[in-house]
Amino acid sequence: MKNALIATNFDLPRQEGVYKGKVRDVYNLADEYMVMVVSDRISAFDVVLPEGIPYKGQVLNQIAAKFLDATEDIVPNWKIATPDPMVTFGRYCEPYMVEMVIRGYLTGHAWREYKAGKRELCGVPLPEGMIENQKFPEPIITPTTKALEGHDEDISREDIIKQGLVSEEEYTKLENYTRALFRRGTEMAAEKGLILVDTKYEFGKSRGQIFLIDEIHTPDSSRYFYLEGYEERQANGEKQKQLSKEFVRQWLIDNGFQGKEGQKVPVMDEQFVNSVSDRYIELFENITGETFEKAEIEDVTKRVENNILTFLDIYFKR
């Protein structure tokens, strides 16, 4: 736990400011470039939990980099380089204030809403008679607002356009990109014996062009099931074997925490923290088909800072 990267406070060349998100520290360089440090912080129910997860940031950053490279033929993305296993350097984009959530299966938040009796999510009607983890006839897009603080909220396509968050023309493009990215992610997951269950994409604009930004197809933004045994588990009414952050949410629920007022985060002991770290590494190896190579974390903050400064020195002298 002590070797997790919880926070950064760097002073980088051309730095205009820094945004500290739930998991990422994003440094703005002259409103032209961004340095995104993917920390080992972990959040659930829009709350940052008290303990960091060793190697989590590396897992997220390296999976995102792989999928950004694998989808750049669908939509251009913000990534330029990865100067450290936990860092991505890329172009500065003005983000759209919505997150494009796409779901292929009825699970997680959608299932909790469905179980409570709702038959519409973000303006999308849901079929009657579905069971948990059942595949939708077609993937559905259920956007959320992008909250700078507090909780993201479900929102419909109609309300996004009505409130002027995104123009109708551009929102249609975001929907098309979302479906195409999900198809590619689904195909890549299937090649590794996994099901891409649901995920979210974020987009931004730079000089009038739409870019895919932030992360893509990571266990923080996505949910995966194992393909083998999926049908049998569904037929038997069993829980699906999955690789995602849902097991953390479930652990919190089982221990009386859902991010509601007055609730206290349960103690995350070293054994639990290490088990979460192992699960993140497991997903990396399953989704990429590669062996995870642990970066040096004896002084992880210094390593990350040195790698960023060395890279920027070379990049800005070109």
Domain residue spans of the chain: 95-244
* Residue 219 pLDDT: 84
Residue 188 exposure: Cα atoms within 13 Å on the Cβ side: 20
The low-confidence residues of the chain, meaning pLDDT below 70, are 1-2, 147-151
- Report the C-alpha gap between 62 and 182 in whole angstroms: 19
- Report the C-alpha gap between 138 and 127 in whole angstroms: 11
* Residue 282 pLDDT: 87
- Report the C-alpha gap between 202 and 178 in whole angstroms: 9
Residue-level length of the chain: 318
Specify the CATH number of the domain 95-244: 3.30.470.20
* Residue 2 pLDDT: 59
